Amino acid sequence: MCGIVGYTGINQVAQPILKGLKKLEYRGYDSSGIYINNGSSDILVKATGGVDDLRDVIEKQKKDLTGTAGIAHTRWATHGGVNVDNAHPHMSEDGRFYLVHNGVIENFQELKEQYLQDVNFHSETDSEVAVQLIDKFVKDGFSTFDSIRMMISKLDGESAYSFLIMDRKEPDLIFVAKNKSPMLVGLSDEGNVVASDAIGVLDITHDFIELHDGEIAVVDKNKVDLFDKNGKQIQRESFHVDIDASDTDKGIYPYYMLKEIDEQAIVARNLSEYYFDNNDQIQNIDPNIIKAMNDADRFYIIAAGTSWHAGLVGKRFFEQWANKPVEVFISSEFAFDQPKLSEKPFFIFLTQSGETADSREALIKIKEQGYPTLTLSNVMNSTLTREADFALPLMAGPEIAVASTKAYTAQIIAQSILAHAIGNSKMNIREELANIAVYMQSIIDSKEIFQKIANDALKNQRSAFYIGRGLDADVSYEAALKLKEISYIQTEGFAAGELKHGTISLIENKTPVFAFITQSKTAGLVRGNISETAARGAKTIIISSEKNAKSGDAYVLPQIPEIFMALLSVIPAQLIAYYATIDRGLNVDRPRNLAKSVTVQ
Ligand code: M6R
């Protein structure tokens, strides 16, 4: 979950590298660093904080970053605190090798004790062990390439890594190695780049070669040599990434999160256009996916965080329209505590990034058992889309803010389309989505209402609750995650009926309790639950649907089929979270301790 950029070119590379690193800050922003290797002198600068902090240090120290090859890193700390020493790039003891790392080296302590007892370490990180090992093997007489291979061979099989390594003696080369952590090599006429996410280098190229686990690439300014895990040179075709670099800019918005909330109506339209033809018939879904799903006796949806919440909602489409039983699992739980499966299971992975390590671990284990798998992801060509049997896109465009918004609604819509494709929704989904997009926009256009709700209900609060029943409970989980992860208000989302079984003891005078009431079956019951909290002093805020509205409700959502209500009810929750965070003066896009792509377990 760290951001990595490397560039070896014919022109100066420091500014394009820093620009790329800035784009990847969403992957980690505890600390950052850059190393430029220009043959005669080397420049290493590190800072705590993000790329702007790094630029400040560069300026303060009057560093001249002249050079045509370099590597840089923005960190999300795993081993060792957040300080300059622990920031990457790490340097070998004699200053010959420089390395940046994304991932975790499980056995770094053992390696230190076994091979590096005489080395003076500068940091507490697992990553530094890798660069010191390379240095040791080179001193033992091996080439840089072989030393990198030897270093990798010593890492525990569970270790996740992507490394960029530079050698002062070969200043134009960037050595790249990867296992489990994502890494792409980008090709251009002005040199070649390496990045942990294509978004970081779209200004330079749209053509990439993917690296598979265990492979090493040696990237020079005018060629890329790729080697398999046995050290044998291999060839691989490049692929084109069709994202406009401007899609990754904030444009007129103060924060990516607000931009991405605003884009949800467009995303609904994009999905509809992509998956339906002009005659309302499904398109762009491989018939083999439909067949494999129809052949299955049960679906297992596997996902993490917000994507897991989207899976809870999606379950309803598959059960009601496709008549298949569905179980929804948190990936990190499924991977190590697999339940007894049905005879013919079909696995659906939901993942915005396509790189989530927990989900990938589950995918690896399912594939070992030979079951069919499908990934729904916002990033095609990501690890989980490549490694599953089938993949379908979410069409949401790059999502940069750590707090996921448009990917959640896209995942719900994509699941509804898939369930419609394999079953019978008895609806014209294309028409429904067209209406939903219009309603989404009307809610988005009512921002000031949610700004006021956030201000009135949350300004000085330490805790809050979201409740609902059935589908409204599913949205409550997501609403609570949104609020807590960016505003740091401790928020619980749960099934309203559970209140009286324990949690109601937390209700104090003015504790904010938000309720979703969009499901007719349970509307009366949730109103009862919310009254119970009001009787104990809670400040209650009800978000209802037209059909279930009562006077005094804080916001009434337009009526759409109840099974789709999550697509509307989540938007007020996203906006309330956004404004509550703004009220606290916090950085909405970069909540503390978090990163966008969680590529460690
Ligand atoms: O990329 P993924 O959808 O697999 O990521 C899973 C979670 O890390 C992610 O949904 C996370 O919970 C959200 N960014 C929170 O807003």
DSSP string of 365-422, one letter each residue: HHHHTT--EEEEESSTTSHHHHHSSEEEE-------SSS--HHHHHHHHHHHHHHHHH
Report, as residue numbers or ranges, the catalytic residues: 2, 596
pLDDT tens-digit series, residues 556-577: 999 999 999 999 999 999 999 9
The order of strands in the sheet holding 31-37 is 42-48, 31-37, 69-75, 3-9, 191-195, 184-188, 207-210, 239-240
> Could you report how far apart the first and last alpha carbons of the chain are, in Å?
10
Nearest-atom number in ligand 1 for the CA of 598 is 8
356 Cβ closer than 6 Å to some ligand 1 atom: yes
d(CA 301, CA 374): 10
Residues in the chain: 601
Residue 235 tokens read as: 């060839």
Is any ligand 1 atom within 6 A of the Cβ of residue 403? Answer: yes
Ligand 1 centroid–CA 267 distance in Å is 18
Q: How far is the CA of 349 from the centre of ligand 1 (A)?
A: 12
- 1 pLDDT band, cuts 50/70/90, is low
DSSP 90: E
pLDDT at 130: 96
353 lines ligand 1 (CB under 6 A): yes
Task: Kindly calculate the radius of gyration of the chain based on its CA atoms and give it in whole angstroms.
Answer: 25
Query: Tokens 């989530």 — which residue?
Result: 356
Using CB atoms within 10 Å of the CB of residue 552, give its burial: 0 to 12 exposed, 13 to 18 middle, 19+ buried.
exposed
Round to whole Å and give the CA distance between 373 and 113: 41
Residue 25: closest CA among 71, 58, 59, 73: 73
How many angstroms does the Cα of residue 488 sit away from the middle of ligand 1?
A: 17
User: What is the model's pLDDT at position 595?
Assistant: 73
Q: Report the run of H or E that residue 177 belongs to, with start and end.
A: strand 174-179
Alpha-carbon dihedral of residues 440, 442, 448, 450, nearest 10 degrees?
Answer: -40
3-state secondary structure 477-536: HHHHHHHHHHHCCEEEEEEHHHHHHCHHHHCCCCCEEEEEECCHHHHHHHHHHHHHHHCC
Cα 57 to averaged position of ligand 1 atoms, centre (Å): 32
How many Å apart are CA 580 and CA 455, to the nearest integer? 7
Q: How far is CA 120 from CA 123, 132, 397, in A?
A: 9, 9, 46
Can you tell me the distance from the alpha carbon of 350 to that of 388, in angstroms, rounded to the nearest whole number? Answer: 11
Amino acid 263: pLDDT: 95
Whole-angstrom distance, CA of residue 410 vs CA of residue 537 = 37
Q: 385 in ligand 1 pocket by Cβ < 6 Å?
A: no
**Across the chain, what does the average pLDDT equal?**
93
Q: Would the CB of 304 count as within 6 Å of ligand 1?
A: yes
- Token pair listed for 109: 């302590």
Q: Write the residue with the smallest CA distance to atom 8 of ligand 1.
A: 305
Choose which residue among 76, 352, 570 to substitute to test ligand 1 binding: the one with the highest number of ligand atoms within 8 A of its C-beta: 352
Q: In what order do the strands lie in the sheet with 90-91?
A: 90-91, 97-104, 160-167, 174-179, 216-219, 224-227, 233-234
Cα–Cα dist 598/76, whole Å: 10
Please name the residues in contact with 108: beta carbons below 8 A apart, sequence gap of 6 or more.
Answer: 79, 126, 129
Are 69 and 37 in contact by the 8 Å Cβ rule? The answer is yes
Q: Which ligand 1 atom sits nearest the alpha carbon of residue 594?
A: 14
- Is 359 close to ligand 1, i.e. is its CB under 6 Å away? yes
| Pocket of ligand 1 contains residue 306 by CB under 6 Å | yes
Atom of ligand 1 nearest to the CA of 304: 6
Q: Which of 333, 355, 356, 400 to mutate to test the pocket of ligand 1 (most atoms within 8 A of CB)?
A: 356
Residue 52 has pLDDT above 70, yes or no: yes
Q: Does residue 307 have its Cβ closer than 6 Å to ligand 1? A: yes
Looking from the CA of residue 405, the nearest atom of ligand 1 is 16
Ligand 1 centroid distance, CA of 482 (Å) = 11
Q: Out of 257, 574, 598, give the residue to mutate to test ligand 1, the one with the largest number of ligand atoms within 8 Å of its CB.
A: 598
Question: According to the per-residue pLDDT averaged within each range, which of 68-82, 156-170, 414-428 is highest?
Answer: 414-428
- What is the CA angle 411-413-415, rounded to 5? 70
Mention every residue, 6+ apart, whose C-beta is less than 8 A from residue 354. Answer: 375, 377, 378, 379, 380, 381, 382, 383, 384, 385
Q: Which domains does the chain have, with CATH numbers?
A: 3-247 (3.60.20.10), 250-444 (3.40.50.10490), 446-601 (3.40.50.10490)
pLDDT at 275 over 70: yes
Summarised one tens digit per residue, pLDDT across range 300-351 is 999 999 999 999 999 999 999 999 999 999 999 998 899 999 999 999 999 9
- % of the chain beyond a pLDDT of 90: 80
Give yes or no for a cis peptide into 254 (omega within 30° of 0). Answer: no
The pLDDT, as a whole number, for residue 592 is: 85
State mean pLDDT over 69-88. 87
pLDDT at position 520, please? 97
Closest residue by Cα to atom 10, ligand 1, is: 306
Q: What does DSSP say about strands 298-303 and 326-330: parallel, antiparallel, or unpaired? A: parallel
The preferred substitution site among 351, 404, 487 for testing ligand 1, maximizing ligand atoms within 8 Å of CB, is 404
